[in-house]
Amino acid sequence: MPIDWDKLRLFHAVASAGSFTEGARRLKLSQPALSRQVIALEEALGAKLFHRHARGLALTNEGEQLRSTTMRMAEEIERTRSSIEATRNRPTGEIKLTTTVSFGSSWLPVQLKEFLDLYPDIRVSLILSDEERDLARAEADCAIRFHKPHQADLIQRPLATIRHRLCASPEYLEALGEPQTPADLLDHRMIAYGPEAPAYLRSINWALELGHDGPPREPALSINNSFGVLQAVEAGAGIAALPSYLIRHSGKLKVLLPELQGAVFQTYFVYSSELRGSVRVAALRDFLIERMTPQNLGDLLG
């Protein structure tokens, strides 16, 4: 027969007080009611817990064993209470964060190092994909999106604006010359994001429309994520439009025709309304709002 937890609590109070009278006072119960509960516990255990005498109570051998257990229980509960009190307003736990492959492979991990230094009790699982994860289905807790979310049940906070610039490697420019006008691009190899780009990234290939009338040019090389485009540009394969954070991450490329306005993406920190009260998600949100500035993203011209 299972032991009644509440009766254990009452037993512990009586054993600690040394009498039913003092135990009842501490528990704010009547003495007869407390005595009945302890007798019921003794019956459930099939053993006497107290020797009752004129000067008060003394624990039996069985009572000493039980009090040793209830003491450990009380100490563990107090440690747990103190731990909860200490962590109640401190961010803890895991955050599953999703964003694009290029952003999550370059600028973001460096910043997350500082975030983890600030919040050592948080664990971050970074999920990279140019196809968006469904937050409503708990495929991730939160996301950095490169467009305004369409789902009404998601909470969104604007972050930085991401701008794209034309760029090339010094080796490529030394071999083929630097374009001075948009029309000069017709004499150069262009690298682009692949044609299967998600809808929200379609404007990323704006550079293919520069310098001529008519439909966009066919690129010499297309790759289905921006980080791959960066690798090709660094290798001297051609000219591409890349986001400012990737150009800064590289440190090897030269910006071309800086007066040109390229694709612009407004970014957002997005999370489910079910996480509205999450302290750890709020900590990451506020951290990103502070860190994602044009200067930190390398957009010194923006």
DSSP code of 211? T
Buried b / exposed e along 30-67 (16+ C-beta atoms within 10 A) = eeeebbebbeebbeebeeebbeeeeeebebeeebeebb
pLDDT at residue 302 tops 50:
no
Contacts by 23-27 with C-beta closer than 8 Å and gap 24+?
Answer: none
- The DSSP letter of residue 110 is H
Residues 249, 174 within the same domain: yes
Residue 203 has pLDDT above 90, yes or no: no
Task: Please enumerate in sequence order all residues whose Cβ is within 8 A of that of 190, keeping only pairs 6 or more positions apart, or say none.
Answer: 207, 208, 217, 219, 220, 238, 239, 240
Choose one of 87, 115, 147: the last residue of a domain.
87
Q: Tell me what percent of the residues of the chain surpass a pLDDT of 70.
A: 96
For residue 301, pLDDT beyond 70: no
**Average pLDDT over every residue of 147-154:** 84
Report d(CA 23, CA 217) in Å as an integer.
Answer: 88
**Is the domain of 173 the same as that of 149?**
no
Residue 85: what pLDDT? Answer: 62
| 231 found inside a domain | yes
Output the pLDDT for position 87.
61
**Same-domain status, 182 and 223:** yes
Instruction: Quote the CA–CA distance of 221 and 230 in Å, as a whole number.
Output: 12
Q: Of the candidates 87, 103, 131, which is a domain's last residue?
A: 87
What angle separates helix 5-17 from helix 20-27, to the nearest 10 degrees? 120
pLDDT of residue 277: 86
Query: Taking the CB of residue 198, how many other CB atoms lie within 10 A of it?
Result: 16
Segment 138-167 mean pLDDT: 91
Band of the pLDDT at 2, cuts 50, 70, 90? Answer: confident
Q: What is the CATH number of the domain that holds 13?
A: 1.10.10.10
Q: Is residue 234 part of a domain?
A: yes
Has residue 302 been placed in a domain? no
How many Å apart are CA 5 and CA 85, to the nearest integer?
A: 23
Q: Is residue 253 part of a domain?
A: yes
- Is residue 297 a part of any domain in this protein? no
Q: Which of 69, 87, 105 is the last residue of a domain?
A: 87
CATH of the domain at 100: 3.40.190.10
In a shared domain, residues 277 and 143: yes
Task: Decide if 11 contacts 74 (C-beta within 8 A).
Answer: no
Residue 30's pLDDT band (boundaries 50, 70, 90)? very high
Question: 223, 229 in Cβ contact below 8 A?
Answer: yes
152 and 171 belong to one structural domain: no
Alpha-carbon distance of 121 to 231, in angstroms, equals: 35
Which DSSP symbol is given to 262?
-
Residue scoring higher pLDDT (263 or 84): 263
Average pLDDT of span 78-98: 78
Question: Does residue 82 register a pLDDT over 70?
Answer: no
Whether residues 230 and 252 share a domain: the answer is: yes
Average pLDDT over residues 227-232: 94
Residue 199 shares a structural domain with residue 118: no
Q: What is the pLDDT of residue 199?
A: 78
Domain count for the chain: 3
Distance CA 265, CA 201 (A): 9
Take residue 19 and report the two structure tokens written for it.
């009498």
pLDDT mean over 292-298: 90
pLDDT per position as a tens digit, 247-284: 999 999 999 999 887 888 999 999 998 898 899 999 99
Q: How far apart are the C-alpha atoms of 227 and 240, rounded to whole Å? A: 12
| Domain region containing 121 | 95-159+271-287
